[in-house]
Amino acid sequence: MAEHVILVVGPMGAGKTTAIATMSDIETVKTEAVNTERNVVDKATTTVALDYGEISLGPSEKIRLYGVPGQKRFDFMWQILKARAVGMLVLVKNDAQDPKADLLRFFEEFKEIHDRGGVVVGVTHSDVQPFPSTIDYQRLLAEHYPGAVAPVFTIDPRNRDQLVTMLSVLAASVDSRAMFSGR
Amino acid sequence: MPQARFNDALIAKGQEVLDAMRFASPALVQAVLLSDDGFEVARTPRMSESDGRFASMASSVQALSEAVVHELRSGTGDEMIIQASQGVVIQARVGTRPAVVSALFGTDESLGKCLVVTRRATATLEEAFASGAVSIEPF
């Protein structure tokens, strides 16, 4: 069975923990703590180490999902986790103060995963704030990373079908990259 | 530097308890009281440099250790011990509060003494929480 390690990255409050819990076939491992930064993002808890879940895409493909903490102060966890990932799902919170900057920041931080595997972008909270649009994000990435391949979707992290579709696109991208590189 | 997000009573009590740890064990290299989400509340020695990174790492390690205990269905994770070649890190939750004490001791102290000193610190802090003298609610 082919197994891939996929990271779910993005700023605090983008829906990473929810997305992994929605996708996972197993009970997820969570490391949530009481959030004392309610002035920054108004949510009760925040991930301080990782989230972990698993999902099978068909009988021969299994995805191990790792969610990273969204805050920069936990970047030592980013270093640990990105070393083992072949794909990445970037979640962007569309009603954040500057979601475009968030996307560029996380794309740059984890760019090595794009270079060796694949990336997809999921835009959350677009029901609250419809802009930037998916096309805006595609243009942004094309402008800053010419040649980068990173499909952009609007998603609800509670919607399993949407997430699985996005994950399947990512897995196909990783598989084709591996095939062409002979891995 | 202690974070301004915590109230003065908690910072003062935390400082007092950590300083008492140093008095109880000269082998204590540093100790930090931190919130569950990785912010430093107080530290000893007070003048030592801190960018908050140790508190962030300590909160991640605490959460991972408790996740392991949960996964193995082994009750609750009371203390975590990291034995290094040049010291030992003892980490313990303050009762059931979203606060943790993490302490580095040098090699010239027995593990038992390190544990006792750390347990006394968390017990004293828990008493302060239980009496209502301190709280860790975010602003």
Q: What ipTM score was computed for the predicted complex, to two decimals? A: 0.87
DSSP state of B4: T
Across the interface, of B52, B59, B61, the residue whose CB is closest to A33 is: B59
pLDDT (tens digit, 9 = 90+) per residue, B58-106?
999 999 999 999 999 998 888 999 999 999 999 999 999 999 999 999 9
Per-run averaged pLDDT (10 residues), chain A, 183 residues: 91 96 96 88 92 92 95 95 95 97 98 94 96 97 95 97 95 81 62
Average pLDDT of chain B is: 92
Reported as half-sphere exposure (CB side, CA atoms, 13 A), residue A168 has a value of: 9
Chain A residues within an 8 Å CB radius of B40? none
- Whose tokens are 């962007």? That residue is A92
The reply to whether A76 touches chain B by the CB within 8 Å rule is yes
Confidence bin at B4 (pLDDT 50/70/90): low
Measured CA to CA, the distance from residue B17 to residue B24 in angstroms comes to 10
pLDDT of residue A51: 97
Q: What is the DSSP string of A122-172?
A: EEE-TTT---S-HHHHHHHHHHHSTT----EEE--TT-HHHHHHHHHHHHH
Interface A–B counts its CB contacts (< 8 A) at 68
CB-based contacts of A24, cutoff 8 Å, min separation 6: A53, A54, A55, A65
Distance in angstroms (rounded) separating the CA atoms of residues B37 and A48: 6
Taking CA atoms, what residue in B is nearest to A39? B139
Q: Cis omega before residue B45 (within 30°)?
A: yes
Q: Inform me whether the C-beta atom of residue A69 falls under 8 Å from chain B C-beta atoms.
A: yes
Q: What are the distances in angstroms from CA B107 to CA A80, A98, B30, B91, B110? A: 28, 48, 13, 16, 8
Q: Which residues of B touch A30 (CB under 8 A)?
A: 67
A40 touches chain B (CB under 8 A): no
Question: How many C-alpha atoms does B19 have within 13 Å on its Cβ side?
Answer: 8
Lowest mean pLDDT among B11-15, B52-56, B91-95, B99-103: B52-56
Given a contact cutoff of 8 angstroms between Cβ atoms, the answer to whether B91 and B79 are in contact is yes
> Measured between alpha carbons, how far is A3 from A25 in angstroms, rounded to an integer?
14
Residue B139 has pLDDT above 70, yes or no: no
Mean pLDDT of B109-114: 95
Distance from CA of A85 to the nearest CA of B (A): 19
Quick one: pLDDT band at residue B138, thresholds 50, 70, 90? low
The helix (H) or strand (E) run that includes residue A80 is helix A75-82
For the segment B18-46, what is each residue's pLDDT rounded down to a tens digit? 999 999 999 999 999 999 999 999 999 98
Output the pLDDT for position A59: 86
Find the residue in A nearest to B7 (Cα): A36
Residues of chain B neighbouring A54 (CB-CB closer than 8 A): none
CA distance B91 to B13: 18
Residue A101 CB neighbours (<10 A): 13
Substitution target in A29, A31, A38, A43 with the highest count of B β-carbons within 10 Å is A31
Residue A11 CA to its chain's centroid (Å): 10
CA separation, residue B120 to residues A132, A180, A182, B25, B105 (Å): 53, 60, 58, 12, 15
